[in-house]
Amino acid sequence: MSAWRAVLRMARRDALRAKGRRALVVAMIALPVLGATGVDVVHRSGQLTAVERADRLMGRSDALVGAYDPGRSVEQSVFPADGVRTLPQRPGSETPEQKRAAATEPTALLGELLPKGSTLTPARTGPVAAVQTRDGLAPVDTFEADLAGDLWQGRLNLVSGRAPAAAHEAAATRAFLAGTGLRIGDRVTVRGLESTPFTLTGAVECPGELNKSELVARPGELYQQLDAAQVVAGLAPQSPGAEQAAAKKAAWLVRLPAGASLGWDQVRELNRYGYTLASRQVAAHPPADALARQEAVGAEDARERRMMTVATTAAMALLEVALLAGPAFAVGARRARRQLALLGAAGGRPGHVRAVVLGGGLVLGAAGAVLGAVVGAALVAVLRTRIEEWGGSRFGQLALRPSDLAAIAAVGMLTALLAALLPALQAGRREVLDGLTDRDPVRRSARWTPLLGLAAVLVGAALALYGAVVAPTGGMPVLAGLSTRTLSVLTGATLAELGLLLFTPLLLALLGRLARLLPVGPRLALRDAARHRSRTGPAVAAVLAAVAGAVAVGVHTAGAEAQDRASYRLEQPVGAVRITLHGDADVMPQLRTAVLQDLPDLGERADLYEAQYVFCEGCSSVVSAEGGPRYGQTMTGPAVVGDTQVLHNLLALRDRTAEEALLAGKAVVTDPSYLHDGKAVLQMQGNGMEAKKVTVDAVLVDRPVGQRYAPLVVAPATIRGLGLQVVPAGAIWLPTAPVADRAEQRAAATVARLAPHSEFGVERGYRPQDSVVQVALSGFAALVVLGAAVVSTALAAADARRERVLLSAIGARPRTRRTVAGLQAGLIALLGGLLGTVSGFVPAYALLRSRVAGMTGAPAVLNAADVPWATIGLLALALPVVAGLLGALRRDDPAGWRG
Amino acid sequence: MTGSSAQAVLRLEGVGRVHGRGEAEVHALHPIDLEVRAGEFLAVMGPSGSGKSTLLALAGGLDRPSVGRVLVEGAPLEGLSRARLADVRRRSVGYVFQSYNLIPSLTAAENIALPRELDGVPARKARAEALVALEEMGIAHLADRFPEDMSGGQQQRVAIGRALAGERRLVLADEPTGALDSATGEAVLQVLRARCDAGAAAMMVTHDATHAAWADRVVFLRDGRIVREAAQRTGAGR
C-alpha cells in the first residue's frame, strides 16, 4: 500500500507539472463525461414520478375519468395514456354494464359509479379553431377551464397575468402568444365567433406540453359557440363516427369527498362500462396486475436497434477518446523516461513504473471525470428552463442520481486509464539502463503482431455482422443492459479497430524499407517513423480513431438515408393532396367544401371510389385486384375506382389511349404483374374461403416501379356493370403549386374534426430526417479528425525535436528539417487515415445491415454509389497534406535539443 | 583480491559483457574478478570506452553479464527476473549518477524515502528515516525542497542519502562529482567517504585522480580489462 501511495504521489505531481498536456487530456476526458452527464440529468429529470405525472394529468383533483368506449368493455394501464384497448366482443353478447353504459348519460352514470359526494369537472379538449393574427389565421387548440381556483394547478399553470374572470376573457399558452405575436391585454378573434372576441388576461403553460398552442376560455364560453358556428357554416360533423370520436374526448376531473378513495377495483369496474379512470391513489400504489403492457415486438426491435446504434457509438467514442489521449500519455512517458529509469534504479519494479504512468491516467482521468460531471450537471441546472423549452416539457425535479454520475465519471476515468495503458506497458518494458543513458533502442515487433491484427479484424467484422444479422432480436440483456445483438456489434467494431492498430508496425516497417530509394529528407522521415514506433504508433492510433469515427458517421448517415430513400414508397405523385375515407362516406361533400376553404388553389378534383361486393344483407367486402405471384403467394392490390381525372391526379398520367380505354370500360393497369392475358382480375371475398373472381378487359400503361401509385384503375360504370357497389373512398388533387405546411396543418385539422377516421395528407416525397443533427455530427467528426491530426502529429513532432535540432547542428538546411517534420506528420496522418477509413466501415456496415435485417423487400445495405467517397477521399488524402503542411510550418528552438 | 569473501558486499566472478553478435561483436568488458568489502571505498578509473560504466551497471543488476556471475551480499543475481533485480536494487544497492539524480516531482525527503516506501515501509516511518539521513548529511533543512530548488551538490548529497536508505550497504556511483565544481565535489566525496567509514561499501567510477584519492583502492580499466589495481592509504584524499 505504501509503495502505491509513493507511486501515485509521483504520478500526481508529474501530472501537475506538464500543464499543456494535462489540460489537453483533462479536456478530452471531461468533454464526453460532460455530455453524458448532461444527457443523464436531462433524461432522469424528465422521468416523472407517479405523483408528478398525476399532477400533470389531473391537476389538484383525485382522478380523471374518460369516456373511452361507453357500451363496450375496455382494459387499461394505470395511466390510460400507457395503454388502453377495447376488449373484443361478439355481437349480441353485451353485458348488463355495457347495456347500462350505452343507455345512460355519462355524468349520470358516473354519479352512480363514483363515491357519493364526488364532484365532476369537464376536462374535454375542444376542437381546433382558427384565430385571427396580424399575419392571417393561426390554428389553435381550445380548452375550457376555470383557472380561478387551484383545481387545474399542475396540469395548466397560470404563469403571468390573471385568470379569466369576466365574460369573453381568456388565457393562452405562451407558445400561442409567441407564435401569434399577441400579448396579454390584446383581443383575439376566433373564426366563426367574430362578434365576441376574447380579451387575453393571462399566460398559461401545460408543463407536459410547453409547445402546445392553446386558448383557454371559461367553461361554457367556447365549445358550444364553436359547434354552433360550424353548423352555420354547414361544416358540423354529421357522421355517427364523428360523434363517436367526439364522445371519446369527453373526460372529467373528479374530486372525492373526504375519506373516499378510488382504487384499482373501481378502475376495473369503470372499465367494464367502457370508461377509463386515472386515479391518483392507484398511481401512487399500483397493484401488480396493473403493470404496463409489453411493448409490441416491432417497437421492441426498433428500441433495440436504437440501443445498438447508441451503444456502438458510445463504445467507439470511448475508444476514440482513449486513443486520442494516448499520444499525450505516450509523450509524457517518453519525456519522463529518465525519471522512470531513476525509479527503476532506486528499486522500483516494472510494475511500479507502469503504475506511475497509469497513475497519471488515474489522476488526469479523475480530474477530467469530476470536472465533466460537475460542469455537466451545473450546465443542466443553469440552462434548465431553456432545456425544458427545447424538450417541450418541464422537468419533475432536477434529478442528480449519484449512482449514475459516479458510473459516468468511472467510465471517464476508465477511458483515461485505457489511454495510459499502452504507454504504461511500454514504459514498464523499457530497460532501466536505456532510460538512464537516454537510449531509445529500436525493437523488432513480433512477427505474430500483424497476424493477430488480421485475426482481430476478421473476428471483429464477423462478430459485428453476426450481431447485425444473425443474433436473435429482442434478446434479454446480458451485460450492462445490452443484448447479445448489441454487444456483438459494439465488441466486433471495437475489436476490428484494435486489430487494424496492430497492422501499424508492419506498415511502418514496409514503408521504412522504401526509405533507401528516396532523397535524404523523405528517407529520414520514413526511417525515423519506422524506427521510433513508440512515438509514431500512438499518433497513428489517434488519427485512426478519429478518422474511423468520422467515416463511420459519414457512411452510416449516407447509407441510412439511401436506405430510407429506397424504402420510401410514394403513394401518389409528389405534391398531390389526398383525402382517404374510412367509413365516413356521407361526410365527403362537406370535406370537399372545407378543404377548398383552407386550400383554395388545388385545381381539379378527382373523386376516388372503391368497389364493394355485397354478399349478404348488411355485409360487404372491398374488391381487390389480383397481381402476380410473389414470395410464394399471389399478390393483391387496391382496385381504384374513378374517372379519367384519377388517371391525371393519382397516376400523373395524361395518355389518350388510357383515357379512352377507361371510358370504354377497360381497366388501366400500371403494373404488368396485374395483367393476366390482356385482362385484369378482380377478387371478391364472400362467406366462403375461396374468393370469387371476375375479369375485366385491360390495357397496360407500364409505369416505372416507383410511380405505380395504384396497380389498377377502373371506371365506376364498369364496376356497376359487374353488379358491384361503388362507394366514395376519398378525393385527390394535383395542384400545380406546392401546398404550404401551415395551410396543410389547417386543412388536416378541419378534416380531422369533420371525419375523425379519415386520413388527410400532402405527398411531400422522401424527406431526410434530422438533417441539422446529422450535419452537426458530421461537422463535429471532421473537427475531431482535424484536431486529432494536428495534436497527435504535433506531439510526435515535439518528441522528435531533438533529432531535428541535431540535423540543424550538422548543417541541414531549414528546408530539409521542414521536409522531415512535414513528411513525418503527413505519414502519420496518411496511415491513420487509411486504416481509420477501413475501420470506420465495420460499425457503419454492421449498423446499416441491422436496419434492414428481417425486412421484406429490404433495400440494399449499402450501394457503392451511396458511400460518401468525396468526404472519405478528403479524410484519407487531404488530411495528410494538411497535417504535413502544419508539421512543416513548426518552428524548432535551436537550443531545444537538450530538452 | 583482498579480504575474505564473507565480508564482501559485492563480488564479481569472471564477469564479462559482450554487445552484438558475429562481426558486430564488441567486448565491452572482458571477464574480470572483483570484490568490494563492507567499509571499503573502491574507485574505478579508465579512459572513455574502457568499460567503467558497464562494470557499474553489471554490479547493480541494471545489465546482465554475458559470462560470469555477480553476487550482492552473497546472493547471485543471475537468473533473477526484472522484478527480483528491482528488489535487489531496492534493498541492497544504491546508485548515484553524474546528474539528474533525483526524481524531480519528489522532495528531498521523499526522494530518500522512496526505496523504503516502495518496499512497503509506511510513509511516516520512511520519512522519519529520511530525515535522519538528511540530518546526518547536514542538509535537514532541505527536506521539503524539490530538486529544482537545490544546488547540484545538495542534490548529490540527497542522492547519496537515497542510495543508502534502509538496509542498503552498497553504493554504486557513476561520476558523482562530474557535474560539480571542485569544492562541491569534495564535499560530496566527503559524505561518501563518511558513509563507507560507517560500514557501507562503495564503488565509484571517476576520471579524476584527485577524487579517486578518497578511495581505499583504485582499479584501472582499459579496453574492458583490469590493467592495474592499487591500494591506497585510507582517506588519502582527505
C-alpha span between A804 and A893 (Å, rounded)? 10
Kindly state the cell numbers that stand for A708.
Answer: 405505380
Share of chain A above pLDDT 70, in %: 85
A78-110 burial: b if 16+ Cβ within 10 Å, else e: bbbeeebeeeeeeeeebeebbebbeebebeebb
CB A68 within 8 A of CB A244: no
Tally A–B CB contacts below 8 A: 88
pLDDT digits over A666-691, tens only?
Answer: 999 988 889 888 899 998 877 666 77
Q: Using the beta-carbon criterion (under 8 Å), do A5 and B100 form an inter-chain contact?
A: no
Q: Give chain A positions within 8 Å (CB) of B95.
A: 345-346
| Residue A720 contacts B where some CB pair is shorter than 8 Å | no
Report the pLDDT averaged over residues A367-394. 89
* Mean pLDDT, residues A302-306 taken together: 62
Q: Chain A: residue nearest B161 by CA?
A: A346
Q: Do A347 and B118 touch (CB under 8 A)?
A: yes
Confirm or reject CATH 3.30.465.10 for domain B5-231, answering yes or no. no
pLDDT at residue A213 above 60? yes
pLDDT (0 to 100) of residue B40: 93
Higher-confidence position of B202 and A446: B202
Residue B2 pLDDT greater than 90, yes or no: no
B93-147 per-position pLDDT tens digit: 988 887 767 888 888 999 898 888 888 888 899 999 999 988 877 889 999 998 8
Measured distance CA(A296)–CA(A303) in Å, rounded: 11
Confidence of residue B69 (pLDDT cuts 50, 70, 90): very high
Contacts of B57 in chain A (CB under 8 A): 433
pLDDT per residue as tens digits for the range A761-776: 888 888 766 555 556 6
Q: Which of residues 14-53 of A touch B (CB under 8 A)?
A: 14, 17
Mean per-residue pLDDT, A723-735? 90
Q: Looking at per-residue confidence, does A544 or A172 come out higher? A: A172
Closest CA to A101 of A93, A112, A91, A92: A112
Question: Distance between CA atoms of A540 and A836, rounded to whole angstroms?
Answer: 9
Check residues A472 and A830 and name the one with the higher pLDDT: A830
Highest mean pLDDT of the ranges A12-21, A70-79, A693-702, B9-18: B9-18
Q: What is the mean pLDDT of residues A134-155?
A: 85
Confidence of residue B70 (pLDDT cuts 50, 70, 90): very high
Tell whether the model's pLDDT for residue A481 goes beyond 70. Answer: no
Going by pLDDT thresholds of 50, 70 and 90, the confidence category of residue A241 is very low
What is the per-residue pLDDT for A590? 82
Nearest CB among B62, B91, B119 relative to A345 is that of B62
CA dist A849 → A346, A616, A749, A841 (Å): 56, 49, 39, 12
- In tens, the pLDDT along B161-173 reads 888 787 788 999 9
**CB contact (8 A) between residue B118 and residue A342:** no
The share of chain A scoring above pLDDT 90, in percent, equals 17
3-state secondary structure of A709: coil
Q: Report the pLDDT value the prediction gives residue B3, as an integer from 0 to 100.
A: 42
| pLDDT score recorded for residue A898 | 38
Task: Tell me the mean pLDDT in the region A247-263.
Answer: 85
pLDDT of A256 > 70? The answer is yes
Q: Return the pLDDT at A238.
A: 46
- Asked if pLDDT for residue A279 goes beyond 90, the answer is yes
- Please report the pLDDT score of residue A894 as a whole number: 44
Comparing CB atoms, the residue among A3, A339, A431 nearest residue B103 is: A339
pLDDT at A297: 37
pLDDT, position A652: 85
Q: What is the pLDDT of residues A83-141, one digit of tens each?
A: 777 777 666 678 888 889 888 888 899 999 999 999 999 998 887 787 877 766 777 88
Percentages helix, strand, coil for chain A (3-state, rounded to 5) are: 55, 15, 30
* H or E element, residue A453: helix A448-465
B111 contact partners, CB below 8 Å, separation of at least 6: B102, B103, B130, B147, B158, B159, B162
Question: Among partner residues B57, B100, B114, which is closest to A346 by beta-carbon distance?
Answer: B114
Cβ atoms A397, A45 nearer than 8 A: yes
pLDDT value for B67: 94
Tens of pLDDT along A855-888? Answer: 666 777 788 888 888 888 887 778 888 888 887 8
pLDDT over 50 at A328, yes or no: yes
CA gap A87, A692 in Å, rounded: 32
Burial tier of A854 (Cβ tally within 10 Å: 0-12, 13-18, 19+): exposed
- DSSP code string of A470-491: ISPTTPPP-BTTB-HHHHHHHH
Q: Quick: pLDDT tens for A581-639.
A: 876 677 888 888 888 888 888 888 999 998 988 877 767 788 889 888 876 677 888 88
- The residue type of A501 is L
Between strands A198-205 and A759-762, the pairing is: unpaired
Pairing of strands A251-255, A119-122: antiparallel
What pLDDT score was predicted for residue A420?
85
**For the residues A260-283, what does the mean pLDDT come to?**
91
How confident is the model over A646-673, as a mean pLDDT? 89
For residue B226, what pLDDT is reported?
Answer: 93
Give me A790's grid cell. 494536428
Cβ neighbours around A544 below 10 Å, total: 30
Question: pLDDT at position A641, please?
Answer: 93
Give the residue-averaged pLDDT of A849-857.
72
Identify the band that residue A895 occupies on the pLDDT scale cut at 50, 70 and 90.
very low
The pLDDT assigned to A715 comes to 93
pLDDT at site B12: 94
Give yes or no for residue A246 having a pLDDT over 60.
no
Mutate to test the interface with B, among A431, A433, A438 (most CBs of B within 10 A): A433
State residue A306's pLDDT score.
65
Dihedral angle sign, alpha carbons of residues A781, A787, A791, A792: positive
Q: Scanning the structure block, which residue is given the C-alpha cell 479523475?
A: A366
DSSP sequence for A639-681: EEE--HHHHHHTT----HHHHHHHHTTPEEESSGGG-BTTEEE
Domain residue ranges in chain B: 5-231
pLDDT of residue B29: 94
What's the gap in Å between the CA of A440 and the closest CA on chain B? 16
When mean pLDDT is compared over A302-311, A505-514, A818-827, B32-41, the highest value belongs to: B32-41
C-alpha cell, A689: 374461403
